[in-house]
Amino acid sequence: MDIVQKFGKDVAVPENPGSEGSRLITLKQIEQEHGVSRSALHTYRRSASFPQPVPVEGSTKIQYRADEVAAWFEANPPQQGKRTDLARHNEGVPVEATRLAVPPNEALEAAREFVQWLRAQFTEDERIARAADDSLGKVNMDWEYRPDDELGGKVVSARGYDLIYDVPAGIGAHVAEYDPRRALRELEAKRGILDLYATAVEDRVALRARMREALHTDPDEFGRLHRQESELMRVAEQLDPVVRLLGLPYVDRPGYREEWRP
């Protein structure tokens, strides 16, 4: 067992992450046990002082040592009744909801980066789907599987010509079911979900610019804009887990960050 310096005190770190006294805890459990929202937790995790996640073989969930997380929150207690989302966590002082100050928000910029990256993955999926169909020499998009016998058959265009290839039965049915047209329909649905989330994020960015303009000139307008932003935050927090799940199939593509996992 090693002794390391964490949060200004000596902490014993077991060699085995799963050993007694070093219970692992997921992001959801951190939210529940320490009473913080998902957006606030993601802000805390970007702090250099926040504990590092523990890699767990065979698990895709981000996990931390519960004792390290508890020690961090003891040293950095969330302040009740205050808007921590208006300030960078590493600035050290949360901003009251009624206080005329609108510092930059790192969480918003991180959300915008994720949206941009995920849009690029959808674009790549569309390119792959269209390239698969273009290989026929014309755009057919809609495929079907036609068995020759119980061992296999052919995947062809739904119009009955332009042979693609001979395939085993199970693979042929799967390929035909997830043909380019199906892939494009699913992409349209996923883009619609991402657009809902992106709109909430971008509207918050625009609102914050207007809030800065109203800081010292129109407190009533500032309060109205603040209420609008609170509603947008609610919408974004509801969509956040869904959008993170949309990104999960692309974990092996360049640019994916572990902090984006659900």
User: Does residue 16 surpass a pLDDT of 60?
Assistant: no
CATH of domain 2-78: 1.10.1660
Amino acid at 22: S
| 192-248 per-position pLDDT tens digit | 999 999 998 898 888 888 888 887 788 888 888 888 888 888 888 899 999 999 999
Q: Tell me which of 108 and 8 has the higher pLDDT.
A: 108
What residue segments make up the domains of the chain, in order of their start? 2-78, 106-260
| 116-139 per-position pLDDT tens digit | 999 999 999 999 888 876 655 455
DSSP readout, the chain? -EEEEETTEEEEE-SSTTSTT--EEEHHHHHHHHT--HHHHHHHHTSTTSPPP---TT--S-EEEHHHHHHHHHHSPPPTTSBGGGS-GGG---B-TTSS-----HHHHHHHHHHHHHHHHHHHHHHHHHHHHHTTTS----EEEEEEETTEEEEEETTS-S--EEEEHHHHHHHHHT-HHHHHHHHHHHHHHHHHHHHHHHHHHHHHHHHHHTTTT-HHHHHHHHHHHHHHHHHHHHHHHHHHHHHGGGTTSTT--GGG--
User: Does residue 30 surpass a pLDDT of 50?
Assistant: yes
- The pairing of beta strand 9-13 with beta strand 2-6: antiparallel
Please report which confidence band the pLDDT of residue 79 belongs to, taking 50, 70 and 90 as the band edges. low
Please report which confidence band the pLDDT of residue 158 belongs to, taking 50, 70 and 90 as the band edges. low
The average pLDDT across 87-109 equals: 46
**Average pLDDT of every residue of the chain:** 75
Please report which confidence band the pLDDT of residue 46 belongs to, taking 50, 70 and 90 as the band edges. confident
Residue with tokens 């009473």: 35
Residue 204 has which token pair?
A: 């918050």
Q: Tell me which of 247 and 75 has the higher pLDDT.
A: 247
The average pLDDT across 72-76 equals: 84
Torsional sign, CA 17, 18, 21, 22: positive
Please report which confidence band the pLDDT of residue 90 belongs to, taking 50, 70 and 90 as the band edges. very low
- The pairing of beta strand 152-157 with beta strand 9-13: unpaired
Other Cβ atoms within 10 Å of 124 Cβ, number? 12
User: Does residue 20 surpass a pLDDT of 70?
Assistant: no
pLDDT of amino acid 253: 92
| 170-189 per-position pLDDT tens digit | 676 777 777 788 888 999 99
